[in-house]
Structure 1
Amino acid sequence: MEENTRKESWFKRNWKWAVPTGGCLLIIILIIAFAGTIFYGVTSMFSESEPYKTAFELANNNEEVTSVLGSPIENDGMIKGSINLSNDDGEAFFDVPAKGPNGNAIITVDATKTNGNWTYEVLEIKLESTQEIIDLKPDKLLD
């Protein structure tokens, strides 16, 4: 006599461990996605700010800096610091690792925004190879 027993599905046989494992993996994936979103948001807030753009523009246009680092000079890592904006006022203080084809450096920015205008207290680059600090502030930005 032939037996007509149906084999249970994989999920029906393994649900006791598959459901908790799948739930834990989903939570881990959501946490990683959330952290990535926060990191991207903070990074883009810095890189789209006027002090950040000004710092890299001045570094790329400074002959002394480009003679040591080469050109172009780009971001080379995680920005450390803070930026606070409120309408036409704000503050920015950060260090950003920079690199060129020939070396690395740290760009330091300390700026205050009042009535829509940025004033740079510190805008400099420290070359890694020589530890030399080069002031990037042009005369028009000095206060």
Structure 2
Amino acid sequence: MDNELIDQSRWVEGNWKWFLPTFLILFVLFIGLVFSASIDGNVTEMAQVYSDNALYEKAIEKAKTNKRVLEVIGQIKPIDKLAILEGNAIYSNNNNSVEMSVRIQGSIGNGKMDIYADKKGNEWEYKKINIRIKEPKEEIQILKDTI
């Protein structure tokens, strides 16, 4: 049996109409991912904050003892993972210092918590903790920078 009538061209030649646009879209998405990950390393820093719950959980515990926070925000709810991703974190000093801002929700109101901390061994030592509130516009200092 002779198979000379069967066209054995390359696969790409026969499927280029959908292969080329798909390849271009995937290439643009890959370049976008690489570009966004390289902007100040913010993606990797947020992943680090995401994995280090003790950093913000202990700061919340300190905030829960402040009378003004209880008056304006109420009982602070646990921070959800989406709030961490929406926040901002800047690590320095070989990832042993952090400045971060994260959204918090309370039983009465909402705000943003700013945390400045240094890592000593496995524990975070807080330098400054503030809570910013829009209504009424106020900044509550939980822990002041003593330096």
Tell whether 2:121 aligns with 1:118: no
CA contact (8 A) 2:46 2:84 kept: no
CA contact (8 A) 2:45 2:89 kept: no
Aligned partners of 1:115, 1:59: CA distance in 2, in Å?
Answer: 23
TM-score (norm 2): 0.60
Matching residue of 2:68: 64
**Counterparts in 2 of 1:75-94, with a 5 A limit?**
75=83, 78-84=86-92, 86=94, 90-94=96-100
Report how many residues are paired.
Answer: 130
Asked if 2 retains the 8 angstrom alpha-carbon contact of 1:126 and 1:134, the reply is yes
Q: Where does the alignment leave 5 or more consecutive residues of structure 2 unmatched?
A: 1-10
Which stretches in structure 1 are left out of the alignment for 5+ residues?
A: 1-10
Residue identity (%) = 16
Secondary structure, counterpart of 1:136 in structure 2: strand
- Structure 1 counterpart of 2:59, which letter? A
Shift of 1:32: 6.5
Could you report, residue by residue, the CA deviation over 1:73-128 in whole angstroms, capped at 9, with x for unpaired residues?
53376222312475xx8111122222234322121111223455533221121222
TM-score under structure 1 length normalisation: 0.61
C-alpha contact (below 8 Å) 1:69/1:101 kept by paired residues: yes
Once the two structures are overlaid, the 10-residue window that deviates more, 26-35 or 95-104, is 26-35
Q: Deviations over 1:53-88 (max 9, x none)?
A: 2222323454432332233153376222312475xx
The structure carrying a bigger strand percent of its residues is: 1
Over 3 Å counting, the alpha-carbon distance change for 1:91 and 1:69 in structure 2 is same
Q: CA RMSD in A?
A: 3.9
